[in-house]
Amino acid sequence: MKYLNHIKLAAVLIIFSLFATSCEKDFPNPNNPTEDIIFNTKDGLFALSVGMNQYYTTTAYRQVIEAPGITTRELGVTNTFLNINDLARGGAELEGISGGITNPWVSLLRAKGMAESLIANVDNAEMATETRNSVLAYANFYKAMCLGHLIQMYEQAPIDNSADGAAEFSDRATVLSACVALLSDARDAIPNGVSDDFRASVLGPDRNLLNSINAFHSRYQLMAGNYSESITSADAVLNTGDSPSMFAYDPNNVNPVWARVNPDATDLKPQTNFGLLDPYLPEDGDGRIGFYLGDSLGFALPDAGGQAISQARGFWVASTSSLPIYLQGELMLNKAEAYARDGKLDDAVTELNKVRMKTDDPLGVNANLPAWDGDAGSQAAILEEIYKNRAIEMFLTGTRLEHSRRFHPDFNVPQDANTTNERNRNYYPYPTIERENNPNTPPDPTI
């Protein structure tokens, strides 16, 4: 937010923080900027870009991490609030009316709607081609992130919002294909990076948009089963040697995970041992334990599982702590998994050991462990070790539900509520508000 110097943003941010999922553009307040200013000028599109980032990083991103974090035992519940306890119990009793699964849906569709408005209006304003391409790449990146998060939590999702509220849903493969296409187009739009004015006014110094695009391209290609493409995109980031890309926060726009897990927060705390059970417990001496977890804080509520909980460290020590957009360890694990699933086991172990033996991570996420001594000839054993390292390395990044389903598709998730399993849902039911307003809403998954 601090990077936009061209126009005053207060009114614009208010408008777009309330942006409806239907993308309605009715601005009755005469003191607010007109639609012409917002959608037909460079400053207006820059302002919307800033507002989209602010809404995503402070509101939507919290939901991305919190809901699946509770479902997969990363987070222990320490308050009796119904929404988070519904997620902790899961099973068939988790209903679409629950705010725990409504909030991610609404916030991600809202952020996605902002990105779609940027995409639809980028050619309306006069600006240099490099600047226009920067805005388009930025919007494509955010739309792809929102879609990817949705399809990690719900069986189907609408690729495009609809003004009449009746958006069409698409299945997982189609949504992932759309994510990949959006990111491919974004990457092609800025082969040499963003324009100077876009960086100064919107992006700021802490983010490399091209690297961020390639990192998510690697993630979604892997999820789609496109292994060589995932490796190529991971290498495109790892080989640059650039500093990490971060979501920045300030006293007025605080780190949303810190807000939920800080010492004074009463709702949630990280589970000790990352919420993992044998055989996935972290090894003694794993440096990531001390990086992410602090002192013991007792136990979660008995009705929510009663697991041991710890103080949050890592990227959640202060209200203004920055959050990584991606982790280098994820890219190494993407390569390890892609090689393993493609039968290239030696290469998979090489990449796995880069994560285990890492001592120079730019953000300090260092396991500092010896090389893996498991069965290097067993694809199943290698994948299990990769899963364990994903669960630790990528703690509280909103990805564990996806990883759990992908690595353990045959895991028997019971219909009854449970508080100790690896996961207590495969996908969430669709929110009641969507079902009541959108006739295209699919049937809920059984579990």
150-162, pLDDT tens digit by residue? 999 999 999 999 9
Length of the chain: 447
206 band by pLDDT with thresholds 50, 70 and 90: confident
Residue ranges of domains in the chain: 10-255+320-437
Cα separation, 96 vs 216, in Å, equals 29
Crossing angle for the helix pair 345-356 and 328-341, nearest 10 degrees? Answer: 160
Best CA proximity match to 87, nearest among 372, 314, 425, 390: 425
pLDDT at 23: 41
Cα separation, 170 vs 190, in Å, equals 28
287-310, pLDDT tens digit by residue? 999 999 999 999 999 999 999 999
pLDDT at 37: 76
Classify each residue of 108-132 as buried b or exposed e, where b means 16 or more C-beta atoms within 10 Å of its C-beta.
bbbbbbbbbbbbebbeebebeebbb
Best CA proximity match to 442, nearest among 153, 159, 156: 156
pLDDT at 121: 96
With the CA atoms of 332, 335, 338 and 341 taken in that order, what torsion angle do they form, in degrees rounded to the nearest 10? -70
pLDDT at 243: 84
Cα separation, 64 vs 79, in Å, equals 20
421-438, pLDDT tens digit by residue? 999 999 999 999 999 999
pLDDT at 242: 79
259 band by pLDDT with thresholds 50, 70 and 90: very high
pTM for this one? Answer: 0.94
38 band by pLDDT with thresholds 50, 70 and 90: confident
Residue, of 24 and 57, whose pLDDT is higher: 57
Above pLDDT 90, what percent of the chain? Answer: 90
Mean pLDDT taken over the chain: 93
User: Strand pairing of 268-270 and 246-247?
Assistant: unpaired
Classify each residue of 160-182 as buried b or exposed e, where b means 16 or more C-beta atoms within 10 Å of its C-beta.
ebeeebebebbebeebbbbbbeb
Best CA proximity match to 224, nearest among 325, 152, 331: 152
109-150, pLDDT tens digit by residue? 999 999 999 999 999 999 999 999 999 999 999 999 999 999
Instruction: Kindly give, in sequence order, each residue whose CB lies less than 8 Å from that of residue 144, ignoring residues fewer than 6 positions away.
Output: 178, 179, 180, 182, 183, 186, 216, 220
DSSP 271: B
Question: What CATH class has 10-255+320-437?
Answer: mainly alpha
